[in-house]
Structures are given as C-alpha cells and as structure tokens.
Structure 1
Amino acid sequence: MNAPAGISTLDRVKIFSEITIKTFDILVIGGGIMGAGIALDAASRGLRVLLVEKQDFAAGTSSRSTKLIHGGLRYLKNFELGLVRTVARERKVLNRNAPHLVMPEPMLIPILKNASYGYWATKAGLTLYDLLGNVETPERHRMLDKTQTLAQEPLLNPEKLQGAGCFVEYRTDDGRLTMEVLKTAHTFGATCLNYCELRHFTYNEEKRITGAALQDKLTGKNYQIKATCVINATGPWSAKIMQQDQPEKLPELVHTKGVHLVVPFEKFPLKQAVYFDIPGGRMLFAIPRQGVTYFGTTDTPFTGNLEKPRVEKEDVAYLLAEVNKMFTGLDLKPGDVISSWAGVRVLLYEAGKKPSEISRKDEIFISASGLITVAGGKLTGYRKLAEQVVNKALEKYFPENRQPSGTAKIKLSGGDFENAAAVKGFLKSCQEIGQLHKYPSESLAYLVRNYGTNTKAVLKEACRLKAENLDPETRLLQAEICYTIQNEGVTSLSDFLIRRTGKLYFERGQIIAILPAVKAAFQKILTLGNGILANQESEFMEQFEAAVAFKNESKNAMVSA
C-alpha cells in the first residue's frame, strides 16, 4: 500500500456511472471517522463497499474534536472501566498504524489546593489508567511536586498548585485521520463518495432495505443503487436517517456542543499540554500546536443547525474565564482569539444527567427493515466499534464470511513507517531534497506530519511545477492541492483549507495571502468557471468569518448596552 489511494474528484463521473450497475454488500451512510472505519473493516474482509457522505468527508464532528487520541481519563470518575480500557489500548494501535499522524503528547494534570482530587486520588486514577491501557514503562505516569510541575509548565498558578501527574496521551488531526482511513479503505476496493446524499431507502415486498436513492450534490443528478446491507454511521444525523426508515421506533439521543478556541502562542506561551479540572465536573485541555495554543471543550445541550454549529460569545466567555483562572499572567480576552471551531456530539440519553455526566458509550441498533445504526462512541475507539458493527453485519447478512477483522495490523495510507524514528528519518530525507529546491524546512515538516510517505507524491508534483516559474512555497502549495484533488476527493476551497489542512483553525492569519494561489490551482486543475470559483470563495469566506463571528456579537452587545 505504498501508492496513493486515489479517491479522485476527477473520476466522479465515472464512479457514479459504475455504482448503478453493481450490487454492493454494504452501503455505509456517513463519511466521518465511524463510517470510514466501517468501510475499511468491511472492505478488508472482502466485502463490496460503497460509502456516501452528503457533505465533505469529515465535515461534521470528525474534523471538530479536541484532536487527541486519548483514553478518556475523566470517564474513570463514572467508573466506565470497560470504555477506558478499550480506548486507552487503541491509542497504541493507531500510533503503530499511522505514526506520522498519531503521536505521543506528554500531558500534565495539575493537583490543586482544596480540589476534589488530591495527590493520592490522582495517583490512584493514573495508576489504574496505566493498567487498563496496558501502558508501557516509558509512557507510564509520573507524579511531580510543585517545583517540578512549575519547571515543566511555569504558567500554572502557583498559589493554587500542589503538584501534578504527568502522563502520555496522543495528538492527531482528526480530519486527516478520517481521510487516511478512507484512502486505505479505497485501496481495499471500497468506493467512497463525498457530496452524495441519501434521498430515501428502497425496499422489497417484505419491507427489507434493498438499497437507496442517492443524489450527487455537485450536479443534482439522482442515482439508484442496490445494497444487501445498509449501515447508518452519520453521528449527530443518525436519528434523522433512522426516521427516514422507521419514524415510530427511535432511540432517545441527545446532542451536545463542544467548542475550542485558538490564540497566538505569544498570548498563551504554553510549554506543554495541560488537562485540568474545572467546576461542574468538566475537564479542559490546553494544547500548544503549530505556533498557536488551543483549548476546550464545552459540553452544552445543542438544538441548532447540525451543519453549522456556532461558537457563541457565552462559550468564549466560559472558556476564557477558566483558562485565565488556571494560568497566571494571561488575561485573555475575546479579541485575542484568532480562530475557533464547534462540533456536535451525539449521546445516548440518560435521565437526570447533565451532558458532561452522560456516558460516551456506544450502541448498535438494527431496525425491522434491517438498517444497522451505530450511535455514540469516541474518535479514539472508532476502529474497535467499526469491527463490532461489521461483525453484526456479517452475522445478519453474510454468515458464510467468517474472516476476522485485521484492521489492528493494517497500516493507514501514508503510515508505512516502522516507528517514530523512521518518521524522523523520512523527514530528514525530504528536507535534504527540499534544500535542492529551496523548500522551507517547516513546510516539509508540515507535509510529512499531514501526509506521511505520501509526501513523495506531493514533492514529485512540485518538481513538475518547477517549469511554471513559481516560487518554491507556491509550488509546494499547488502540488499539495493537486494531490488532495487527485487522491482525497477535494472539490472546493473549503475542503482543502479547512478539513485537509486545518489552515482555517491553525493558520487563519495566513489564508488571505495564499488565497490567490489556491484559487489559481483549483481553477486550473478542476477547470472551474469564474462563477463556480466565486461561489466557492464566498462559501469559504463565510466559514472564515464564522471562526471569529462572536467578536462582532460582543461588540454589538456593548453598543446596545
């Protein structure tokens, strides 16, 4: 699997013409991390898979998380030992299969005066965490006194601090992880389509699902496809899909919103990630990354637009207040926030519990028509949950297929490395090549972090573009765009600038400067007309402004007062 996977936007017409003449074993609805994991698991067991997503891949919750592969330490409070055990062990699996994208992140959990969890409770919790996660010795927790803690993170408030526990989680880019899983599924034969919406299910005389009517959102054309099994993996949209099947028999699901804020590193010069307790049972992450620091998340009931959850001024005020209390000398204000994002979770309703108290457990539902729906779950546990879903599908529809899941040992696209040292060696070789072409070293580090061994394909395209007399950085940028269009289903400016690269979140201040080069590449590769390109730019700029829209809300509120 060294070759790029090739989910190509340039092949959409051909793909749509082919899906109507096949009968798929499994139709997966939803192109987030859960749907991607199911597609890979099923395709790697020899099943014919079609995955459709009505927006872009990972456009929902799967590009709007805390961007950590973490074991759910806080779930120990609710005694969810099975959940913690599963996800804590999955961290190592994902690190092994995509070491360029899932990397260890040392994290402090401060022990505060008069807090509900003191030294011994924290130590006991971290010890149990290590045991449940089968954590190897180099990554097991350490307990620090106050002096040691402040040496590791001087910004922590010394008046409140007693010490800390230091443990290891794993950081990632959730949107990129979803994309690499999809590309890997593609190498096993899965067909994956974004901007393809379910219109309705089709049934036989016994009222069993036999397929679906789909619409290509880019052209408006409709298609009928046949599938033996249909799996609903749409996350926050799962109840809506179930309602299209059997509206009278719906589980009780609730939506909650999680918000993250981004500030310049110089405004919040955090040396390392911190995970801290706040009043009300929540815990917040603060994480330095790519010249910025981001922090979150909230956990509040949500009933708004699932496609466009908003960061409200109340969310911002809440997060800033808690961060300013925990760290000294910051005095962060709304004006310091340079970007933000909001994501929506779907949880299984539990009477009498606040959103932060509801379990992150998952459940698989099978309707009378045969629709399989998966609800709940976490980014970290997607692979194991996908395995369970496919096991259910095999049991119900393909009992003759007894092939076990092999995804624990399948390297993800771009992840063909033996270990972290091999990633560093690959980066060094790329930087040596880059010196010949005057590519910035940090740009090559970014490419390897995002694309792993597929960086070779980007560099090959950049070499081809040398004849066009572009400066080195523009060549790399346009080569990256070409790669994502030809291999990652990118169709628009938003696909590239938000979900494939995270630039809207972590490099928002640089976007206006590079936008002309990005537009030129899209127009050239996709032969877009000026009208379509203008619409794409308008749609992106709406999201560009939405990332800091709460600043205008705050100003308007002050004027009204």
Structure 2
Amino acid sequence: MSHDDLVAHRGYPRHYPENSLAGIQAALASGARYVEVDVQLSRDGVPVLCHDRDLQRLCHRPGAIHDYTWSQLQTFEVHTDSDVPRLSRAPLAALSDLVTVIPTMPGVRFFIELKRVAFEQSGIEPVLEAVLPILQPVAGQCCVISYQLAALKRVRERTTLPIGAVIDDWSEHEAPALVELHSDYLFCNLESLPEHGPLQRTGAQLAVFETVDPQQARQLLARGVDLVETFAIGEMRQALERGDDQGVDCDVLIVGGGIQGVGVAQAAAACGYDVRLLEQTDLAAATSSRSSKLIHGGLRYLESGQFALVRKSLQERRILLKIAPDLVRLVPFYIPVYHHSSRGPWTLRAGLSLYALLGGLDRQARFRRLSRTRWPQLDGLQQQSLRCVFRYWDARTDDAALTRAVMASARALGAQLQCPARFVSAQAQTDQVTVRFQHKGQIQELTTRVLINAAGPWVDQVLDGVTPAPQRRAFDLVQGTHIVVADPAPSGVFYVESPQDGRAVFVMPWHGRTLIGTTETAYTGDPAAVAPQASEIDYLQRIYRHYFPASDATVVDSFAGLRVLPRSESSLFNRPRDTLIDVSLPRVVSLYGGKLTGYRATAQDVMHALRRWLPEPRRCQDTAQLPLEQVRGTRDE
C-alpha cells in the first residue's frame, strides 16, 4: 500500500474550488500521481471542467454548462464550499487549459471523466469530436472514463487511449456489457461495496470514490482496491506517508485459520480493531477439523491436577451452549467400570463429584449411576465383568463448523479473511511488524501493530520467517488418530479405558456412524503429511471390539491431527493442555497448544497480552454474548 495509490478527485476540493486549475496544480504540488477531472460541453461545443449538472452549487448561477457559450462561461467563477479554503474562488477552466499543464507533470496520469449530461445534450460523437483531438498530444498520460459504456467503446475504436468504466453500484461490475468492454479501469462508489472481504474482479484496476479517511483508504487498498479517490489529496498523502496510526495497514494480523486463530480474530474485531487473518489452505483444514469434537471440561485432567483448566473449560462449555445451541449440544457420557478397570466406582464417583463442583453444581453438572436394568440399552456394551456404569453430561460439536462460525462472527465485526494466503516472512520493528505473504500467486505486504502466530503445528515454520529471530519454546507434536466405523451412531458418548495401556478413549456418534479416538503418538515429520498409521487404526479397532463385541469395526474413514504440547518429562497423555502464549519478541505473539473448548478464553488472554501495543479499544463487545450460527464457505470473497 502506498500514498501514490490516491487519486486527486476533482483536484483538491478540501481547499480549492472543484476542477479548477489552481486546485489541480495544488494537488500536483502535494505529490499526486493521479488526478481526476470532469468534462462537459458548453453550448458552442467547448469541453469545460465541471462536475455538476447545474451551476448553482459551484458558480452560484442559474442553468447549466450547456446553456452558455464558452465566452460567457469564462466570466464565471467556481466557488469552494470548503470550511478551510486556501482559495475561495477560481475561474472555470477549459480542458485545453488543463492540457497545457499535463506535459509539465510527467509520470502523472489524468482521468478525464466525460459526464453523462454531455452525452445527453450533445450525443456521443459530438462529445468525442470535441474532446479527443484536445487529448491527443497528451494521450500517454490520459485515460478517458465515463458511465457511458457505448462512448468508451467508441474511444477504444478511435484511439489508443486507455478507458475506465464508472459504476454507482458494485453489483454492476459483472454486467455482460461491462465485462465485454475490457476496460483498463473500473471506478465504483465505495458506499456500494460489500462491507467486508477482498474485492475480486477480472482485468481492470479498481478505483473507488471517495474518502478523506486514511484508515478507510488503508482498509480499501488492503481489500484489493488499486486506487482511492479523495478530496483531500495533500492530507491523505501525508497521513499515509508519515504513518498516522503508526502507518499500519491493520492492528492485528493473524497467521492460521484454526480455532485459536479465528478466536483471536473475533475477540480483536469485537474491540473495534482492524483485523486480518491469513490461512494457507482453508479454515479448520488441519487440527481444528480432526479433534474428538468435544466441548468439555476434561474429566481426565483432574488426575493430573489441572483443576484451573477444568474449571475454565466448564465455564466455556456453559457459554458455548448458550451462544451456539445449533453447534454445541449436551449429550450423555457413559463410563463403564469393570472388574479389571484401573479406576473403581468410588474413584469415579469422587472424580465426577469434583467435576460437578468445578462446573458450578448446575443442572449440566449432574451425574448418576445407572441401574442394571438400563445396561442392555447401552448400544451393545460388553456386560461381562461390568460392575457399574456412570452417566454424566458433556457437550459435543462439529469442530470445523464451529471454527467457520467463529470466523463468520469475526467477519461480521469487520475482520478480513485472506484464504488461501501463505505467510512468507515478517520483520518486527519497534512500532510495527511488516508481513509478507503470498496471495493469488503474488507476494503482498502489510504492516500491522501486532502479529499473532496461531499456525498450530506450523508455529515454528512461521517463526523461521520472523526477524529478528524470536526465542523458541520446546514442544512436541503429538499425532491423534480417529477412525469411523460402519456401526450406526451410539446413543451417547462412551468413555472407555484402553485395556492395553489404560488410556482414555471415546466412542462417539458422528454423522450417523461411530467415531473412535484418539491415539497419542509422537510425530516428527511435515505437519501437512500427517496420516493415520496402521498400528493406530488397529489399536482403536481392538479397543472398540473389546467393549462392543458384537460390533462391526470395519473402518469407513479415518483422520489424524496434530496437537502441540509443551515439552516436559511427563508422558504425552499427562502433559498440560493449557495454551502457552509466548511474547518473547515484542509485537509477535505465538500460541502453543490449546483446547477446542477454551478457544474463546484463550483469545481473551491474548487480547490482554496485546494491550501494551494496541490503542485503547474503540468499542468492546463481549464475545460471550455474541451468537454463533452455522455457516458455509470459508474462502475470501
């Protein structure tokens, strides 16, 4: 993005009369590389620089340009309605007057808009006969633009001048007549643009009119606009050049479209920050679509003393059940206890009681021991040596759908998604971070106040591209495999213990089938190449057959994801699941690990860590109150 991407719209109306030579020269003196002017014909066919259909606002005269001869119009003055004028009045200018200025400004492009009223009064051919010969000596610096597509077609047939179509509504940009024209530029009213997302079109460079807000200009340019028209060319160039608001294109730039990344995007956008998210393939393309699909406190984490994590997760479960009822639902969980189980009934009862206590002892936290008469209804569960079955309640979700819903909420709040977009490098400076990324085959660059590395298993690969080199956190990648078997979905989630190693494994309903997982296997390869191992599939099948002996364990699908676990002496199974938020390099924040359930709380913690580098929020909506709805589509628009 550059201050050279600004167009001096009608010269410099912030301080000078519109379309006046004085205003145009002031715009050029301020450094404008593009200037737009409006042309109509006088009664005697002289091209005159004027925008309005009538002369009341600009010249305080009755009638219109076409009602007067050029000799009469030469006596008229154009007035400015600016509240900070540097020149309050100036003579009306002819196009020929402007053409004497153009050669003195090599490298500047002039957009000559032929107004609709001129064609209405005189017709296409008379207007072109009056204008094109005047432009011929400076054709290399001019572009003819108009709403009148037929006139532009004739310009192309008669000259080598570039052309630009003007539209008032973005919905017109795919109109057949416009597409067939193959114009070099497309000018559009910015008020008609979609509120969010990249602005895609074919061929033509996109220019929008009109803004005097530097931040809005940055946002438009970042969305794919090529040129931004402004009435305040000097102030806008200075603001972008000197870096008002630290010269950044956005406040928060996130790498990674998994649940943690989209959670931060939503939290930052909810506070009014300008947010961009880069995702290299698709939202939830990796770990966030390959989890156990559970929104839960983590009953097993009680054994390793992670009480704060369990409490926080149960609080988040309560919030998600409220704000995403179509995505997160309570389901019964069954824990069978056998004579050979490593945890007896009293241990389970104590654990479930503590779980209920940490959950606030509300209705969702209740558990009970099922009577024997209910056992035959438990989907063919092995009953030999069965001592008891506990039922408690937790929640499940579609992890990928939840991720998409959170990103949709972020976008509704103003965040922008660029996908597919591959992070290339970042240069951290004292006041900003310059980020380079590849999008649509081209390397692009953005500046941001802070960079969030939420790349999951690729966290170190992102850090490889950051300078100065940040401190690294030691971690392990742990592969978790799930299988889907042919059996119909069970009536709830079964929480069973592997007879081989005592690990907890879930047997769950999933799209009408039975989902079983997960494993924990150390992984050292390319995160993109992770895939279920035959030994893992066999391991899960044997567990399933052990507890459901009459089952059909034929595997119809399988998938593997990677968890990021901070390195420690503990076994993989007992490693802490809290998200590690690393801020060892100023303005670069890296996220290690994290649970699906806790994404929203993690995002709040990240926003707290960012406070030192962000301005005071313009607003702050509570993400615990923002509803999440199921959506389709993930790529930028």
Does the alignment reach a TM-score above 0.5? yes
Which TM class, normalised by the smaller chain length?
A: 0.5 to 0.7
Q: Could you give the per-residue CA deviations for residues 192-236 of structure 1, whole angstroms, max 9, x where no partner exists? A: 1121111111344x5x652201111xx311111010111111111
- Asked if 2 retains the 8 angstrom alpha-carbon contact of 1:36 and 1:182, the reply is yes
| Equivalent residue letter for 1:284 | V
Matched, 1:125 2:341: no
- Asked if 1 retains the 8 angstrom alpha-carbon contact of 2:270 and 2:619, the reply is no
Structure 1 pair 354/293, CA: closer, same or farther in 2 (3 Å)?
same
| Equivalent residue letter for 1:222 | I
| Equivalent residue letter for 1:249 | Q
Structure 1 pair 67/214, CA: closer, same or farther in 2 (3 Å)?
same
Structure 2: 5+ residue stretches without partners: 1-193, 207-218, 225-239, 241-247
Shift of 1:321: 0.9
Matched, 1:372 2:598: no
2:460 matched residue in structure 1: 239
Aligned positions of 1:507-518 closer than 5 A: none
| Equivalent residue letter for 1:121 | T
Distance (whole Å) between structure 1 residues aligned to residue 297 and residue 377 of structure 2: 22
1:445 matched residue in structure 2: none
Matched, 1:18 2:18: no
2:557 matched residue in structure 1: 339
Shift of 1:17: 4.6
Question: What is the SS of the residue equivalent to 1:328?
Answer: coil
Structure 1 pair 10/262, CA: closer, same or farther in 2 (3 Å)?
farther
1:52 matched residue in structure 2: 278
Tell which deviates more after alignment, 305-314 or 184-193: 305-314
Distance (whole Å) between structure 2 residues aligned to residue 12 and residue 355 of structure 1: 49
- Asked if 2 retains the 8 angstrom alpha-carbon contact of 1:209 and 1:371, the reply is no
Shift of 1:385: 0.5
| Equivalent residue letter for 1:169 | D
Distance (whole Å) between structure 2 residues aligned to residue 384 and residue 320 of structure 1: 35
Does 1 or 2 have the higher relative contact order (CA < 8 Å, sep 6+)? 1
Structure 1 pair 409/248, CA: closer, same or farther in 2 (3 Å)?
closer
Matched, 1:69 2:261: no
Percent of pairs with identical residues? 32
1:348 matched residue in structure 2: 566
2:547 matched residue in structure 1: 326
1:444 matched residue in structure 2: none
2:402 matched residue in structure 1: 177
Matched, 1:94 2:317: no
Q: Could you give the per-residue CA deviations for residues 505-556 of structure 1, whole angstroms, max 9, x where no partner exists? A: xxxxxxxxxxxxxxxxxxxxxxxxxxxxxxxxxxxxxxxxxxxxxxxxxxxx
TM-score w.r.t. the length of structure 2 is: 0.60
2:496 matched residue in structure 1: 276
Shift of 1:331: 6.1
Shift of 1:489: 1.9
Structure 1 pair 16/135, CA: closer, same or farther in 2 (3 Å)?
farther
Structure 1: 5+ residue stretches without partners: 415-449, 452-483, 492-561
Aligned positions of 1:302-321 closer than 5 A: 302-321=523-542
Question: What is the SS of the residue equivalent to 1:46?
Answer: coil
| Equivalent residue letter for 2:606 | V
1:431 matched residue in structure 2: none
| Equivalent residue letter for 1:343 | G
Structure 1 pair 152/365, CA: closer, same or farther in 2 (3 Å)?
same
1:474 matched residue in structure 2: none
| Equivalent residue letter for 2:549 | T
TM-score w.r.t. the length of structure 1 is: 0.68
Structure 1 pair 243/367, CA: closer, same or farther in 2 (3 Å)?
farther
Question: What is the SS of the residue equivalent to 2:607?
Answer: helix
Shift of 1:358: 1.2
Shift of 1:101: 0.7
Bigger strand fraction: 2
Bigger helix fraction: 1
Matched, 1:293 2:514: yes
Question: What is the SS of the residue equivalent to 1:263?
Answer: strand
| Equivalent residue letter for 2:424 | R
1:456 matched residue in structure 2: none
Structure 1 pair 65/220, CA: closer, same or farther in 2 (3 Å)?
same
Q: Could you give the per-residue CA deviations for residues 320-377 of structure 1, whole angstroms, max 9, x where no partner exists? A: 1111111222263xxx1111111000011112x2211211122111133431111121
1:210 matched residue in structure 2: 433
Distance (whole Å) between structure 2 residues aligned to residue 247 and residue 324 of structure 1: 50
Structure 1 pair 248/52, CA: closer, same or farther in 2 (3 Å)?
closer
1:144 matched residue in structure 2: 370
Structure 1 pair 301/347, CA: closer, same or farther in 2 (3 Å)?
same
- Asked if 1 retains the 8 angstrom alpha-carbon contact of 2:266 and 2:413, the reply is yes
Distance (whole Å) between structure 1 residues aligned to residue 201 and residue 353 of structure 2: 51
| Equivalent residue letter for 2:479 | K
- Asked if 2 retains the 8 angstrom alpha-carbon contact of 1:52 and 1:195, the reply is yes
Match of 1:261 among 474, 483, 488: 483
2:378 matched residue in structure 1: 153
Shift of 1:164: 1.3
Distance (whole Å) between structure 1 residues aligned to residue 476 and residue 411 of structure 2: 32
Match of 2:387 among 157, 162, 179: 162
Shift of 1:401: 3.6
Distance (whole Å) between structure 2 residues aligned to residue 270 and residue 27 of structure 1: 42
Distance (whole Å) between structure 2 residues aligned to residue 310 and residue 301 of structure 1: 13
Distance (whole Å) between structure 2 residues aligned to residue 113 and residue 154 of structure 1: 20
Match of 1:391 among 598, 608, 613: 608
Distance (whole Å) between structure 2 residues aligned to residue 12 and residue 195 of structure 1: 17
- Asked if 1 retains the 8 angstrom alpha-carbon contact of 2:421 and 2:438, the reply is yes
Distance (whole Å) between structure 1 residues aligned to residue 583 and residue 201 of structure 2: 31
| Equivalent residue letter for 1:380 | T
Shift of 1:271: 3.1
| Equivalent residue letter for 1:257 | Q
Distance (whole Å) between structure 1 residues aligned to residue 544 and residue 251 of structure 2: 49
Distance (whole Å) between structure 2 residues aligned to residue 226 and residue 367 of structure 1: 20
- Asked if 1 retains the 8 angstrom alpha-carbon contact of 2:432 and 2:447, the reply is no
| Equivalent residue letter for 2:635 | G
Distance (whole Å) between structure 2 residues aligned to residue 151 and residue 300 of structure 1: 35
- Asked if 2 retains the 8 angstrom alpha-carbon contact of 1:9 and 1:489, the reply is no
Distance (whole Å) between structure 1 residues aligned to residue 378 and residue 295 of structure 2: 22
| Equivalent residue letter for 1:24 | C
Question: What is the SS of the residue equivalent to 1:47?
Answer: coil
- What do you get for the CA RMSD once the two structures are aligned? 2.4
Structure 1 pair 193/326, CA: closer, same or farther in 2 (3 Å)?
same
Matched, 1:32 2:253: no
Question: What is the SS of the residue equivalent to 2:370?
Answer: strand
Larger radius of gyration: 2
